[in-house]
Amino acid sequence: MKHKHNIIICILVLILSSGVVINTWAQETLSKDEKRFDLDGNGELSTSEKELMVRVMRVESGRGTQFSESEIREMVSGRRDQSRGRGGFSRGRGSREPSGPRLDPEQVKFKDGTAAIPDRETFKKLSYQGTDVRIDTQLAGIEFVKIQVENTHTQNPQLYFMNTKTHRSHGSFMRAAGLGRGQEQMRGVLSYRPLFTAPNGEPGVYTFEFNPNDAFPFEKIKLVHDLLVAKMPILKNRLGYCPLWGAIGIYNREKRLYDKAEFPVYFEDDLYANIGYLPLNQAESYGRLRVLQANERPTLRDIVICKTLPNEMSRVAGIITGVLQTPLSHVNLRAIQDKVPNAFITKAWEHRLIAPLIGKYVYYKVNADGFEIREATRGEVETHFSDLRPSKTQKPERNLSVKKILPLDEIKFEDSSSFGVKIANVATLRTFGFPEGTVPDGFGVPFYFYDEFMKHNGFYKKIETLFKDPDFQNSHDTKDAELQKFRSEIEMGKMPEWMMTALSDLQKAFPTGTSLRCRSSTNNEDLPGFSGAGLYDSFTHNPDEGHLSKSIKQVFASLWNFRAFEARDFYRIDHFTTTMGVLVHPNFKSESANGVAVTDDVVYQTEGNYYLNTQVGENLVTNPEEQSVPEEILLDWWDSSIYRVVSTSSLTTDSKRILTDKYLRELNLYLGTVHNKFSQLYGAAAQPKDFAIEIEFKVTQDGKISIKQARPWGQ
């Protein structure tokens, strides 16, 4: 309970001192949840109380627990000392008085620790990974084993590996091992970082570090390095030293010694710049391994190695890229929704385990701490795909009873069966009380329009005839060519007069000369467990293009592009009940940045962070230009001043940050609100660990954040 109190008090201090202003929600009767935050009891939530509610509820969602009104009041009235501890609170380390006789490392029982670690499996048995890291907040989400070195001033120093599952603190271990306090002790931690490249070129680095305020000379650091390698042989050529803030001064003074040392020095930010392996989607699959050349089309049974990141890809069995992917690209979102393995592996086509298997059937698995790949039999491949594909046809829900184009403010969350989830979610975003202009204003064209258009032109019958053609069914090239011809016919199709009039009225609802963005919104995308990211196309209708029907038909036609057709076909989704709606709103012009954010860290799996990708101008994060690297930030849930820039944008100069502190403060509150509201709407509050929301946003030409889309993260 004390830990919970510290979190909430910390949140209060940060909120009350931040100066952030969030647009007020319309005053109405407070719900039971909201009443917990009505600290002054006046029946309304003030700005600061609302800010508190957004952040606390986001913390509650992530932790799976809820604080009562009395707990919050008790925390608010608690004494705050801003001079001690992270967030202004004193956190003692506890007593280290021994509870028994002093034990040598070899005498310690495994439940408490050990003198040596012979292999990776033993390290796993001793290690801890999670959020219960006490004051060592830098270790949250990292797999680590704490260490203690005794008698460092003698010829026989002693190294203890702590069982960190049993003892999270050094003090607890010292009591169990009978170790008293001494001047020649070194208390540290050995961490495993699977994403980063070791000095020997293999993925996976171990680092050792000490308490943040400790400062040891080089000779002591080298002593610990040598002891670790001697007692844990797998560390050879995989171990580096990571100096924390208290050791930076002495490191700089002795840098010449480190430059000559046989072990590397990693600063925390350097580790993120040295990623050699990144598991974008952890899954397993079978297929034929091939290097995908430019302009080649893969099959759904190919595990492809990409030397550059493609913007679009039809369904495949697995993905390996030799260039670092942006985790929120459409390629990775497709991998997630298709449940296929996807990883960045540096120079994968030259990797000693991968290169010999190119052209062969393989088993490929992506894990958090590495990948597995081996040759497979054709029988294994056949069995895998037979088990993977649904046995029955799936019919997505569509409601054709809504026959009119509606303003977004008249569309509800429950109307997705008539308009598509994209339209319904954008309409719902407009009810969250964000400042005017944060969510675009526009209209939704319902599924009824697409269905009537297809029937009016006889297109359903035409595609039925096409499906019976053996060449269409068995040849990828024929299928692609015929679908392209069919899309052209849709774009040239005739709309009934009533539909032309309705679209004309829609176009006139915007000021003359407005460019309109027409965005796909089907009943086969943006669903929990199936995002459909990148399957369908959106188009901008410029003022000189005449009637809006031109762009609406282009969106309709995109329902029949090759990649979307292949995805539906694999999952046995009925092509005829899959239906297209269209979201229409003013087009963004010359935006200064665009980005994608997820309400959890879905990439590095750190606890308590939002994950943000942002890029300059109109260079999309979801479909990046070649060699384009977005800005990548981990943003703390409850304190926007706590963040880590994992990578800077390749399009900025002097590593300038795109998302300034002002934007991070706003996004922190927007993301908290979006997560809290949608988790309730989707009924995800009972399973918070399994739920996150992804948003697409822009920084407009005049410097305002605009949220253009929200959908469940497809984990």
More confident residue, 710 or 278: 710
β-strand 284-292 against 302-306: which pairing, if any? parallel
Say if residue 423's pLDDT is above 80. yes
What number of residues does the chain have? 715
The confidence score (pLDDT) of residue 627 equals 59
Mean pLDDT, to the nearest integer, of 504-529? 87
Residue 184 pLDDT level (bands cut at 50, 70, 90)? confident
> How does residue 546 score in pLDDT terms, banded at 50, 70 and 90?
very high
Q: Strand pairing partners for 364?
A: 285, 373
**Average pLDDT of the segment spanning 641-665:** 86
Q: Is the pLDDT of residue 675 over 90?
A: yes
Share of the chain above pLDDT 70, in %: 85
The predicted pLDDT at position 78 comes to 43
Q: What is the mean pLDDT of residues 694-703?
A: 92
Other CB atoms within 10 A of residue 633 CB: 24
670 vs 707: CA distance, rounded Å: 9
What integer pLDDT is reported at residue 269 of this predicted model? 64
Instruction: Cite the beta strand spans of 130-273 per DSSP E.
Output: 143-150, 158-162, 186-197, 203-210, 239-241
Mean pLDDT of the region 491-496: 97
Query: ∠ CA(692), CA(696), CA(697), 5° rounding?
Result: 125
Question: pTM, whole model, 2 decimals?
Answer: 0.68
* 25-39, 551-565, 634-648: least confidently modelled range: 25-39
Question: What value does the mean pLDDT take over residues 43-61?
Answer: 79
pLDDT band of 457, cuts 50, 70, 90 = very high
What pLDDT was estimated at residue 80?
A: 33
Q: Residue 638 in contact with residue 632, Cβ under 8 Å?
A: no
**Mean pLDDT, residues 30-56:** 80
Q: What is the mean pLDDT of the segment spanning 169-195?
A: 88
Higher pLDDT, 219 or 52: 219
What is the helix (H) or strand (E) element at residue 712, kind and residue range?
strand 705-712
Judged against a pLDDT cut of 90, whether residue 560 lies above it is answered with: yes
The number of C-alpha atoms within 13 Å of 276 and in the hemisphere containing its C-beta is 18
Q: What is the pLDDT of residue 63?
A: 64
pLDDT of residue 619: 63
More confident site: 95 or 630: 630
Determine the pLDDT at residue 10: 42
Comparing 86 with 620, the larger pLDDT belongs to: 620
**pLDDT of 559:** 95
The pair of structure tokens assigned to 490 is 């849709």
Residue 532's pLDDT band (boundaries 50, 70, 90)?
A: low
The pLDDT value recorded for residue 274 is 62
> What average pLDDT is seen over the chain?
84
Average pLDDT of 96-121? 88
Checking if the pLDDT of 49 tops 90, the result is no
pLDDT above 50 (res 535): yes
In three-state secondary structure terms, 128 is strand
* Least confident span in 90-94, 135-139, 416-420, 689-693: 90-94
Spell out the SS3 assignment of 448-506.
HHHHHHHHHCCHHHHHHHHHCCHHHHHCHHHHHHHHHHHHHHHHCCCCCHHHHHHHHHH
Mean pLDDT of 512-523: 94
Return the higher-pLDDT residue of 381 and 244: 381
In the predicted model, what is the mean pLDDT of residues 102-122? Answer: 95
282-310 pLDDT per residue, tens? 999 999 999 988 777 788 889 999 887 77
Give me the pLDDT at residue 69, please: 77
- Whether 590 contacts 632, CB under 8 Å: no
Spell out a b/e string for 265-300, using b for 16 or more CB atoms within 10 Å of the CB, else e: bbeeeebbebbbbbbbbbbbbbbbbbbbeeeeebeb
- Residues 591-596, mean pLDDT to the nearest whole number: 90
Residue with more model confidence, 348 or 528: 348
Determine the pLDDT at residue 530.
Answer: 56
In terms of pLDDT, which residue wins out, 64 or 405?
A: 405
The per-residue pLDDT for 92 is 35
Grade residue 48 by pLDDT with cuts at 50, 70 and 90: confident
Non-local (6+) Cβ contacts of 264 within 8 A are 199, 240, 241
Between residues 397 and 195, the one the model is more confident about: 397
Model confidence over 312-370: pLDDT tens digits?
677 899 999 887 777 777 778 778 878 899 998 888 998 889 999 999 999 999 987 78
